[in-house]
Amino acid sequence: MFTGIVQHVGQVRAVRQHPAGRRLTVDLGPLAQSLATGDSVAVAGVCLTVAAVDGTSAEFDIVPATASRSNLGSLRPGAKVNLERSLRLDRGLEGHLVQGHVDGTATVRQVQRGADWGVEFTCPVELTDAMVPRGSVAVDGVSLTVRSVQSGAFSVALIPTTLTATTLGSLAVGDVVNVETDLIGKYVAKCLGEPAPGKGGLTVEKLRELGYA
């Protein structure tokens, strides 16, 4: 589990083929301290397991399913990536609950620079179906607030801190980013969707019956 608060921007050192798919080597900088094999790190918003550690660099396996659902399959040496180590229960939750289980990708449609810096994305409809204005979304591992949303498109505002502390300040039209919609929203949508076998779904009538509507 993560929070979407980027702790360091690392750099991809190497990408090579591996029996599991691809082996990614990333310079984690200070985040490599006390890191061990088996630990979890969010790399561009994708939860990956540390396969090996050498100094400040760590290796991660990217299986085909992960490569097809995220932008990790297109990473090349030199690429910058947002990094976050897994959430510790003795620390505050500064962003929002992020699993690192990316739902899909979005493409930058427009970048508005200046005092009101914002980015517009296009994406599959199933992603925007799980978003609401002023709700939370993780973009390349960064916890952001949805500024606007419509079917197949959404936008976010970027504050100066986010621009300097993450990779989002360098986004350009056509770039592909990883998107994870809000965890709580997914469960709410599930409850409001098709009912489980043998059970009724959550309806307005049911809410009225319980005194909530």
- What is the per-residue pLDDT across 166-184, written as a single tens digit (0 to 9) for each? 999 999 999 999 999 998 8
Same domain? 173 vs 126: yes
The pair of structure tokens assigned to 88 is 């510790």
E strand or H helix at 184: helix 183-192
Q: Is residue 157 located within the same domain as residue 187?
A: no
Does 91 map to a domain?
Answer: no
Per-residue pLDDT, 188: 77
pLDDT along the chain (213 residues), means of 10: 94 92 95 96 97 97 93 95 87 80 96 92 95 95 96 96 95 97 82 57 67 65
Residue-wise pLDDT for 115-149, tens only, equals 889 999 999 999 999 999 999 999 999 999 999 99
Assigned domain for 55 exists: yes
Residue 115 lies in a domain: yes
Where do the DSSP E strands lie in the chain?
Answer: 8-18, 21-27, 40-43, 46-54, 57-62, 80-85, 104-112, 118-122, 136-139, 142-150, 153-157, 176-181
Q: What is the CATH classification number for the domain harbouring 36? A: 2.40.30.20
Q: 211 lies in which domain range?
A: 183-213
Give the closest residue to 155 by CA, choosing from 145, 163, 165, 164: 145
Residue 2 lies in a domain: no
Q: Please, what is the Cα angle at 3 between 2 and 7, to 5 degrees?
A: 90
Q: Is residue 3 part of a domain?
A: no
